[in-house]
């Protein structure tokens, strides 16, 4: 050994084991990570043992780790029997929720064909656990058709005559049907004006407050505004209004029997005054009255 060491020094300091010291850094790092209890091949062994020891130091492949995204999540990650059970359970919960919403809706809705036919079933479902103390609509939605009619007493050269009833509500309806942008006047002026009059008068057409006279003048002006659009060949001296109220007919599949005959509420005759005429007609009437007074 001493002679070998001296010979190596005499040869210029070359190492006796170049194949071990000249390994790559990756192999050296791997060798440094080997535990101390593992035996290392001694220099007395042949150089053919070095590659076998390096192969032994290479890491062994581990078992593959399953990807969680591949196995599925939620119901998709369950087996087929459990998926069937989960689907049935969700369907049952959805059905119960829809039934509950429908029963509560029918319970708080105004009286209709369904509630009259299945009222006991709805009550058995609602009471006592799901009792409701409110209603969906207040007041109940309209279940009647109300039409306002007007006729006039006209004085002309042949004397005095009364016109036929004119359906003002029908005239408004013609302007609304088929119109993508109906007029606010056609939709609400007459309807709200008549509601204003009915709510401020009793069944005998007597005003029940200060708003009674105001509502009467408002309805008279609406009527004269509509009549002024027609030429009756004379002067309108008096007008009369009435309402025709009829119930909405039940659907064909309903067994409910409702009379659709109209019920009339006839107002007294009103004498037309200049304030009842449209604005331009009122000014002309005042001017004519002043001219006659000056004469």
- Digitized pLDDT (tens) for each residue of the chain, 295 residues in all: 444 545 444 455 555 455 545 555 554 555 454 555 554 444 444 444 444 444 445 555 555 555 555 555 777 888 888 889 999 999 999 999 999 999 999 988 888 888 888 989 998 999 888 887 777 666 656 688 999 999 999 999 889 999 999 999 999 999 999 989 888 888 899 999 999 999 999 989 999 888 899 999 999 999 999 998 888 888 999 999 999 999 988 888 888 888 889 999 999 999 999 888 876 666 766 777 777 777 7
* Long-range pairs, 201-207, Cβ under 8 A, ≥24: 205/267, 205/268
Model pLDDT, residue 42: 47
Model pLDDT, residue 294: 76
Model pLDDT, residue 39: 47
Question: How crowded is the C-beta side of 240, counted as CA atoms within 13 Å?
Answer: 15
User: Quick one: which of 87, 118, 88, 86 has its CA closest to 103?
Assistant: 118
Model pLDDT, residue 139: 62
- Find where tokens 């004397």 sit: 159
Strands 270-271, 144-156: pairing kind: unpaired
Residue 254, classified by CB atoms within 10 Å of its CB into exposed (0-12), middle (13-18) or buried (19+), is middle
* Greatest distance between any 2 Cα atoms in the chain: 161
């Amino acid at each position: 050994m001493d002679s070998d060491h001296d010979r190596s020094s005499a040869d210029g300091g070359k190492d006796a084991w170049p194949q071990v010291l000249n390994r790559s850094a990756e192999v050296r790092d791997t060798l440094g990570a080997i535990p101390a209890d593992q035996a290392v091949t001694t220099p007395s062994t042949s150089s053919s043992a070095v590659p076998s020891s390096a192969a032994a130091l290479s890491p062994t492949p581990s078992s593959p780790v399953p990807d969680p995204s591949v196995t599925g999540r939620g119901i998709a990650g369950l087996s087929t029997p459990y998926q069937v059970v989960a689907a049935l359970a969700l369907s049952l919960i959805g059905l119960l929720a829809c039934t509950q919403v429908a029963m509560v809706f029918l319970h708080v809705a105004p009286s209709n064909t369904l509630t009259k036919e299945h009222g006991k079933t709805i009550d058995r479902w609602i009471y006592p656990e799901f009792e409701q103390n409110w209603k969906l609509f207040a007041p109940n939605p309209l279940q009647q058709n109300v039409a306002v009619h007007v006729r006039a007493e006209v004085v002309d050269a042949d004397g005095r005559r009364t016109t036929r009833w004119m359906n003002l509500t029908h005239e408004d309806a013609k302007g609304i049907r088929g119109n993508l942008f109906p007029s606010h006047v056609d939709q609400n002026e007459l309807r709200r004006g008549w509601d204003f009059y009915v709510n401020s008068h009793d069944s005998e057409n007597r005003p029940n407050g200060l708003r009674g006279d105001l509502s009467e003048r408002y309805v008279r002006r609406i009527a004269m505004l509509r009549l002024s659009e027609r030429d009756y060949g004379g002067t309108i001296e008096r007008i009369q209004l009435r309402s025709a109220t009829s119930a909405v007919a039940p659907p064909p599949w309903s067994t409910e029997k409702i009379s659709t005959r109209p019920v009339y509420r006839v107002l007294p005759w009103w004498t037309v005054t200049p304030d009842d005429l449209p604005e331009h007609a009122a000014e002309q009437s005042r001017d004519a009255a002043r001219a006659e007074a000056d004469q």
